[in-house]
Structure 1
Amino acid sequence: MATILVVDDELGIRGLLSEILSDEGHTVELAENAAAARAARERLRPDLILLDIWMPDVDGITLLKEWSGAGLLTMPVIMMSGHGTIDTAVEATKHGAIAFLEKPITLQKLLRAVEQALARNAPRPPAPPPMPSWARGTDTVFAAPMPALAPLSSHVGLSAHSGPAPEQLFHLDRPLREARDAFEKSYFEFHLAKENGSMTRVAEKTGLERTHLYRKLKQLGVDISRNKRTA
């Protein structure tokens, strides 16, 4: 909840607004004139100020200009008046007020204005991290991870640099069929190396019939004999 400063020379208005805002869970500080408002603003650094326009010593517009000129409007300000005009509202907005409430202030309008002002002044979440290169444009490279494995040497008796790596890079700036074929070729070469060139085990791993698997490898240009020699 927020700390709200209510500045109004009428005791009844201050009491009513304090009661309503306190019931909403806010901490409310009251000031009956500009001098008290200055002191409260400096002491509390409130999250929101409700500022009456017509006050006996210094009017609200003058006080708003003073804060604005000194760079002290670090919080939203909502102006209030029972005798306001369009010109008054425009002037208040020009000097930093974000809303204008006409008296008598209804409960619904008050709570809506306070909610909107506090939401506007709420800290913004941190910016999301930069989008990965593969999502920003067409001339990109896509990293397609294979199943998580221990180093190839522990699986197939090869050195860690032999055979295809568990992760391959694929350029996406190409027709879909070419990109898909490149992925499938690397996928089958990986499993052939992992299974020591065993077509039976590769068929089981990939869920394909052996006949279909042979046709697929031939279509993709996978050198079966090379994988068997490597194994």
Structure 2
Amino acid sequence: MANILVVDDELGIRDLLSEILNDEGHSVDVAENATQARGCRGENQYDLVLLDIWMPDTDGVSLLKEWSMTGLLTMPVIMMSGHATIDTAVEATRIGAFSFLEKPITMQKLLKAVEQGLQRNVPAPAAAPVAVAGKAVVASYTAGTYVAPVAAIATVAAVVDAMPNAHQGFDLDRPLREARDGFEKAYFEFHLAREGGSMTRVAEKTGLERTHLYRKLRQLGVDLTRNKKH
């Protein structure tokens, strides 16, 4: 179905992701470091790349930047990490990363992210000015990807009022907790509006249990009756 490159220095993760994606009918190449990834990318065209952030030779963000600057970032790239910092996540998004997956990666989240990346499958932009980085972050959310908590926090630093149906802007001078809550409220309001107020579909879309979702919405002060279909 698609040509996918998996770049990760951990053999177990490479084997697991490769097995899952092969079972889905995809053609998968693997690389254990940036050097091997450069060789694979130089010899092949890929529909999608799964790229680990922390690797021993060259980190994934540096490799992403390298591909962007040399015109090789022509496919969606999904970054993977178990311990990404806010700055790292924002930097990768600014360069052109499509979305993030937090390790350990479940099969459901992997397949969902891959499906969304392949649906997009358009050339990623070259390194964008910081001023528009938030729009790149929003793209992954409006595509339906609810990225890992660390990455979600990272987006707060870059998000602007570009999200369709968002009901508020984002004051980046606020404390991080307040800014994060503001982003999350707009995020859930967006999905509630798109799903016609269906809590079941929103729970499926965001990957949250319904009980946790209700508690989160009440905590954020989201109006649950606003987008209900009658």
TM bucket normalised to smaller: 0.5 to 0.7
Report which of the two structures shows the higher radius of gyration computed on alpha carbons. 1
Q: 1: distance between equivalents of 2:122 and 2:63? A: 24
Q: TM-score w.r.t. structure 1 length?
A: 0.52
Report 1:111-130 matches (<5 A): 111-121=111-121
Letter in 1 for 2:95: H
Gaps of 5+ in 2: 124-230
Report 1:6-85 matches (<5 A): 6-85=6-85
Q: 1: distance between equivalents of 2:122 and 2:81? A: 26
Structure 1 stretches of 4+ with a deviation exceeding 6 A read none
Please report how far the alpha carbon of residue 85 of structure 1 lies from its aligned counterpart in structure 2 after TM superposition.
2.3
1:2 aligned to 2:2?
A: yes
Provide closer, same or farther for how the CA distance between residues 122 and 60 of structure 1 changes in structure 2, counting only shifts above 3 A. closer
SS at match of 1:118: helix
Q: 2: distance between equivalents of 1:54 and 1:103? A: 12
Q: 2: distance between equivalents of 1:42 and 1:55? A: 19
- Compute the RMSD of aligned alpha carbons: 1.3
SS at match of 2:113: helix
Percent identity over the alignment? 75
Please report how far the alpha carbon of residue 122 of structure 1 lies from its aligned counterpart in structure 2 after TM superposition.
6.4
Q: What is the aligned partner in structure 2 of residue 98 from structure 1?
A: 98
Q: 2: distance between equivalents of 1:63 and 1:122? A: 19
Q: For the Cα contact (< 8 Å) 2:76–2:122, is it kept in 1?
A: no
SS at match of 2:78: strand
Q: 2: distance between equivalents of 1:44 and 1:51? A: 16
Provide closer, same or farther for how the CA distance between residues 70 and 6 of structure 1 changes in structure 2, counting only shifts above 3 A. same
Q: Give the total of aligned pairs.
A: 123
Q: For the Cα contact (< 8 Å) 2:75–2:122, is it kept in 1?
A: no
Please report how far the alpha carbon of residue 69 of structure 1 lies from its aligned counterpart in structure 2 after TM superposition.
1.0
Higher relative contact order (CA 8 A, sep 6+): 2
SS at match of 2:17: helix
